[in-house]
Structure 1
Amino acid sequence: MNHEPILLFDGDCGFCAAAVRLTRARVAPHVHFTPWQIADLPALGVTETQADREILWITPNTGTVQAGARAAARVLLQGSTPWRLAGRLLCLPPVSWVAHAIYRAVASNRHRLPGGSAVCSLPAQQRPAAHSPDGTQA
């Protein structure tokens, strides 16, 4: 069994998949990135609605789930020293409050951002299945 933390992201969203690729390359965190569309959500203790709304950090040993900006901070905390410092900063108020607001704005408008598409603005049930296991678009 893999005990590495899991980050669920929207594998149908080009912006999200690009962000994951960039994070893997620059931050190199010890995290298993998984498109939520291919994950066993009930086994992970999350719903499709949660996973479609924001990134989710799941700690397998405890089943702890953190979402949005908190999940992003957890990813940074798994990287090298400069990234860990940024992750710690994102956990502290008032920075955490600002990070939450920025995360919500980005998540709500990802279809307008580079790599995003109109599909990103649709509810999951209305999207065509266009993801591959590594999170890139087919």
Structure 2
Amino acid sequence: MTDRPLLVYDGDCGFCTRCVRWAERLPVRARIAAWQELDLAELGVQEARARHEVLWVEPTGRVLGGAAAVAALLRACRAPWPLLGHLLSAPLVRTAADLGYRWVAANRHRMPGSTPACRLPPERRPGRNSP
């Protein structure tokens, strides 16, 4: 691990990659890498989880997923984005953000920039340990 957090995303998903490219322009004070390029065991993350949701791995080893990871990412950006990150972490907003994240994740194959891999069920998407 380093002293900077790590955002882990699905590099086979065009929509996910597009979102990450947008985040890089904010800019974010974190490393960003596709899960397919990482040693997930070293991070303490199971491949099934990395296939399922975006992850935020803190230098302490704490792992946040889904909307919580997006909120952490925004908090690690320059102003005004941290305000949105804190808002997404507020109790009532967090519930709505979780629902919204799950809907987007389930429908990412319909989002702009999606790839054929996004249409596959998570267990059949390309990856280093896929059958």
Is the shorter-chain TM-score for this pair beyond 0.5, marking a shared fold?
Answer: yes
- The alignment yields a C-alpha RMSD, in angstroms, of 1.4
For 2:46, the equivalent position in structure 1 comes to 47
Distance 1:124 1:102 in 2: 19
Q: Which runs of 5+ in 2 are unaligned?
A: none
1:5 maps to 2:5? yes
Q: Deviations over 1:65-109 (max 9, x none)?
A: 000000000000011121010000000011111000000000010
Normalised to the residue count of structure 2, the TM-score between the two structures is 0.91
Normalised to the residue count of structure 1, the TM-score between the two structures is 0.86
The 8 Å contact of residues 76 and 82 in structure 2, kept in 1 or not, is answered as yes
2:105 pairs with 104, 107, 110, which one? Answer: 107
Distance 1:65 1:86 in 2: 20
Distance 1:78 1:105 in 2: 24
For 1:92, the equivalent position in structure 2 comes to 90
**How far off is 1:126 after superposition?**
3.0
* Aligned residues with identical type, % of pairs: 45
Higher RCO (CA-CA < 8 Å; seq separation 6+): 1
